[in-house]
Amino acid sequence: MVIGAGGALGTDLVARLGTPGASGAPPTDSVTALTRSELDVTDAEAVRAAVRAWRAAPGEGAAVLVNASAFTAVDLAETDPDAAARAWAVNAEAPGVLAAACAEVGARLVHVSTDYVLGPLPGGERRPLEPGDPTAPEGVYARSKLAGEERVRAALPDAHHIVRTAWLYGATGPNFVRTMARLSRERDVLDVVDDQHGSPTWTGDLADGLIALARSSAPASTRHAAGGGATTWWGLARAVFEELGADPERVRPCDTASFPRPAPRPAWSVLSDASWRSAGLEPLPPWRDALRTAVRHHPALLLG
């Protein structure tokens, strides 16, 4: 079952799980895909009923629920009380309900979380972040996502996988890559933040990784999965311009203070793949290679 099937990540998950096998054989997985309009994850009784109905349907093999739903309007959650309440309901409370429902029917849960829950390393150290590094969420979104992790662990201690990722972009929906592509046509020059570091992650690659994790025998865990390597928002914007054949020198670096936002952003979001590799899983491709591949297969990305 895929929850949040209408989002960028959910769309890629469903597409891959529903892909026919070799020589046109039927897909190896039976997939129940529910979008936000089909299931309100903040309605606890509706969630329990949906999970029971899913498990009551005929089928063989292991049952895995992937929660790709999230409230991600981070700035709105800081300025609008209704949005803050929605963020808490979707990101904190709903994962706990989903985990409890999985426990009831004997299913495993793969829950997608975020780099925002992590805090700075002691002494200002800069190295790839591990799942055991300190958490120190700032802002409504970050706190709600950490609370969601905690509720998943409490409700389903032996049958969960929490996967933190970062800097997602996909073929559908708003994202940084699409925004940069649009602005490349609207502005002669762009000022983009160059003091926030992270690992851009193509949703297609993350979907492949989540499916591999779900099919594995890895124990319950919190793991990190993001595009390989690191860059800044400025570096990513320049890469988008390069894919467009535009002059990357039109993208100028600036600091975070030049673009104040309601929600604080992590200055260091580079995620280590050590926990991923320890489960025998293939790390996600390097972020620059992934961007090139994503554009080749989904040229609409650069239409903004």
- Catalytic residue ranges: 141
Any residues with CB less than 8 A from the CB of 281 and at least 6 apart, and which? 209, 212, 213, 216, 218
Distance in angstroms (rounded) separating the CA atoms of residues 73 and 1: 25
249 by Cβ neighbours in 10 Å (0-12 / 13-18 / 19+) ranks as exposed
Whole-Å CA distances, 238 to 58, 119, 165? 50, 27, 22
Whole-Å CA distances, 38 to 2, 208, 262? 12, 24, 31
Taking alpha carbons only, the member of 235, 145, 174 closest to residue 199 is 235
Distance in angstroms (rounded) separating the CA atoms of residues 302 and 304: 5
Do β-strands 190-193 and 197-198 pair in parallel, antiparallel, or remain unpaired?
Answer: unpaired
Question: Mapping DSSP to helix (H, G, I), strand (E, B) and coil, where does residue 149 land?
Answer: helix
Taking alpha carbons only, the member of 149, 143, 272 closest to residue 199 is 272
Distance in angstroms (rounded) separating the CA atoms of residues 182 and 162: 33
